[in-house]
Amino acid sequence: MSAGVVPRERVRVAAPAARSRLRIPAVFGALSAALVVLVVVSAGSGQLSIPPDQVLGAFARAWNDGVRAVGLDALAVAPGAAVAHVNGEATLWLIRMPRLIMAVLVGATLAAAGVVMQGVFRNPLAEPGVIGISSGAAVGASASIVFGLTFLGPLTLPVLAFAGGLVAIVIVYASARADGRTEVVTLVLTGIAVNAVGGAAIALFTYLGSTQQREQIVFWQLGSLNGTRWDDLAIVAPIAAVGITACLFLAGSLDLLALGERQAEHLGVRVERLRVVAIVVIALLTCAAVAFCGIIGFVGLVVPHLMRMVLGPGHRLLLPASALGGSVLLVAGDLVARTAVPGSELPIGMLTALIGGPFFFWLLRRARRRSGGWG
C-alpha cells in the first residue's frame, strides 16, 4: 500500500465516530439555545406584551445589580433597553420569572427522574407516575383542599402533597421487597394498585368537597404553573439541585446495570442498594415537582426517549441532555398554555398528556415490533 493512502475500512469507522463527536455539542448547543430563546419570548408574552429587547435589558440590569452587590463591577454588561410599560418590570419579575424558573426546574426534575426510573427498572416504558407517586401526592393535596387545612399557611398544600407522594412510594417499595430484594414486576403492579386506590380517594374527596373545592382539585390534577412565587422556588430549587446531582452520580452504575443484574454485580455494582437509592431520588424529584405544580405527566417518558434516540443509551450524556430537554419542553408548553386561548390559561398537564399519550402508543407499537409480540 502506497504511503498516504488511508484504508477504506478505517475511513468508514472514523466517519461515524467523528459524526458522533460532533453530534453531542450540537445537541447540547441546540437545547441551550432553544431554552434561552423560549425564556426570552415567554417572559415577554402574555396580556402585557414586553418586546424581547426590553426583556434582555431587564435581564442585563438585574445581572449588573447582582455583580455590583458582590463587588465584581468588571463583569457588568450594557444595560440595554428599559421596559416601556409602567408595570412591565413588576410583571416580569414578580409574576413571569418565578413561573419560568419553576418550569425550567420542574421539567428538568421530571425528565431526570424518568431517565433514572427507566434505567433502574430496565424498562423503557417506566415513568414516575407509574409507581404511584403522583397519585399519592394528589391524595395529599385533595385532603388539604377539602378539609381546609392551613397549619403551615400557603405551604400546607405542597407539604401534604409531598408527604402523600412519599407515603405512596414507601407502600409500593415495602410491598415489593422480598428476601432482601426488590421485585421489579411486583413494584410496578403495586404501583398500579396504588394509582387505583389514589384515584378512588381523589374521587371521594371530589364528591365530599364544595363546588369551589372540586374545581380546585380538578385544576390541581390537570397541572399548572400559575401563581408560582419566589418562596416556592426557594424550596424546589435546592431539592432539584440535590436530586439531579444525585442522578448524575448514579449514571455509571445505571450503565453497568443495563448489562443485566448479575453482570452488574460481578462488576461491583450493589444492585439492591442502587435500586433503593434510585427510588428515593425519583420520589424526591417527582414529589418536589408535583407538590407545587400539580400532576404533569409524560415528561419523564417522552423526553428521555427522544434524547436516547439522538445521543444513545449512555447515562452520563442522557441525564443532563434529558434534564435540559425537559426544561425546554415545559417552558414551551407553559408558553402555549398561557397564550393559546386569549384571556384564559390551559392546564399544562393536559398539554403534556396530549403530546405524551400518542407518543406512548407509538412506543408500545415500536416495542412490540422489536420484541416480536408480548407472548
Instruction: Note whether 65 and 132 are same-domain residues.
Output: no
pLDDT at 247 (0 to 100): 93
pLDDT at 11 (0 to 100): 44
Residues of the chain short of pLDDT 70, as ranges, are 1-20, 73, 75, 180-184, 364, 367-375
Q: What angle do CA 268, 269, 271 make, to 5 degrees?
A: 145
Q: Which helix (H) or strand (E) holds 317?
A: helix 315-339
The whole-angstrom separation of Cα 358 and Cα 299 is 13
pLDDT at 342 (0 to 100): 79
Q: Give me the residues paired with residue 182 across strands.
A: 177
Instruction: Note whether 265 and 121 are same-domain residues.
Output: yes
Instruction: Note whether 68 and 197 are same-domain residues.
Output: no
- Sorted by sequence, the CB contacts under 8 Å of residue 139 that are 6+ apart come out as 164, 168, 198, 201, 202, 205
Instruction: Note whether 139 and 256 are same-domain residues.
Output: yes
What are the E-state strand segments in the chain?
177-178, 181-182
Query: Which one of 63, 87, 111 terminates a domain?
Result: 87
Instruction: Note whether 80 and 133 are same-domain residues.
Output: no
What domain range includes position 63?
50-87
Instruction: With respect to residue 12, please indicate whether it lies within any of the assigned structural domains.
Output: no
pLDDT at 13 (0 to 100): 43
Instruction: Note whether 264 and 357 are same-domain residues.
Output: yes
pLDDT at 348 (0 to 100): 87
Instruction: With respect to residue 175, please indicate whether it lies within any of the assigned structural domains.
Output: yes
pLDDT at 36 (0 to 100): 94
Instruction: Note whether 321 and 360 are same-domain residues.
Output: yes
pLDDT at 370 (0 to 100): 64
Instruction: With respect to residue 66, please indicate whether it lies within any of the assigned structural domains.
Output: yes
Query: Closest Cα partner for 333 from 94, 110, 42, 29?
Result: 42
pLDDT at 103 (0 to 100): 94
How many domains would you assign to the chain?
A: 2
